[in-house]
Every structure is written in structure tokens, then in C-alpha cells.
Copies of this chain bind each other. A is one copy, B any other.
Amino acid sequence: MEVRAVNIDQQLVDLTLGVWKSDIGRATKIFSDISDEELLREIGPGRNRLIYLLGHLTAVNDALFPLFGLGQQFYPEMHEAFITSPDRSPVQDGFSGEDLKHRWVDVNQALSLTFDKLSPSQWLEKHTAVSDEDFKREPSRNRFTVLLRRTGHLSYHLGQIATKR
């Protein structure tokens, strides 16, 4: 059996996915510890409430399925509620904290399984929001860059949530 000791590209992808999963796990722990009452706190006067950030992060991750060309969103109705619309919009009224916590877990578990199947070269393929022509000029508009950006986006909001707990 061949031992691929220096499969550098796979190691780089595995490390990046490891950090993504670790941060998702940290966020899941934080969200599960936040009570329904605490979810209504704002990260600053007149700023987003924690429940909006939970919905926002879930919707943004859910959108990775179509953005990566790897399937449909679980909850397409969340796009308008938590990405297009600002916090305190009527369209958010139907979402409970408990429901959003479950959706957060469901989406990320499915993403993890999907991500694990991608090869390093597949991570470098273009995402669906860029045309073939634009991708030739800007090859960095690929799945891997989006993964890095989404990991940073999660940290950005976790930092805000940490100030309210």
C-alpha cells in the first residue's frame, strides 16, 4: 500500500475544514447555552439581536449548498428573513429561538458531510455566483475562498455575541 506522506494539498484542506468545524462547534455550544430570553438581547443599542444573528448565520451557511453547486438550501425562506431583511422585520415573526437552534445544527451537519467529500481541486473550482468569464480573470472566486470568508464571518459575529453574555 502506498503511503502518501506528503499529500500537502489534502493536508491544507483538512486543516482548513478542521478550523471551520471547530468554530461551528464552538458556536453551537454558545447558541445552545443562550436562553430564549437572552436571544432577545442586542449586541449594541439598536443593533442586531442575538436571535437575528443566529438566523443570519444559519441562512448564510445554508446558502453555501447552492453557492457551491452542491444541492438545495434546507430553508430557502430564511434568505429573505435573515439576509435580505434587517433585524426586527415582520418576516422574522414565524421563527422561534428553539427552531433556529435546530436549523443551525441541521444545516452545519449536512455541510460537514458534503465538505468532506470535496477534493482539493474541487475546492478550487468556481462557485455558482461567478461566470466562467469572470472566473478566468479572478480564479480566487472559488469554493475555498468562500469557506475561508465564511469562517471569518462566523468569528466576526461570535465576537459580538461574546460581549452580551
Contact = CB atoms under 8 A, between A and B. Distances in A.
B163 A12 contact: no
Contacts of A23: 152
Contacts of A34: none
B44 A164 contact: yes
A18 interface: yes
A157 B162 CA distance: 10
A110 interface: no
B149 A152 contact: no
Interface residues of A, number: 37
Chain A interface mostly: helix
Contact of A163 (B15, B16, B43): B43
Interface string A139-165: 110101100110111011111101110
20 contacts: A6-B121, A8-B9, A8-B121, A9-B12, A12-B16, A12-B124, A15-B140, A15-B142, A16-B148, A18-B140, A19-B148, A19-B149, A23-B152, A44-B163, A47-B163, A155-B156, A156-B156, A158-B159, A159-B159, A160-B163
Given A44-B163, A156-B159, 16 more contacts: A8-B121, A12-B12, A12-B13, A12-B16, A16-B16, A16-B148, A19-B145, A19-B149, A44-B164, A148-B151, A152-B152, A152-B155, A155-B155, A156-B156, A156-B162, A158-B159
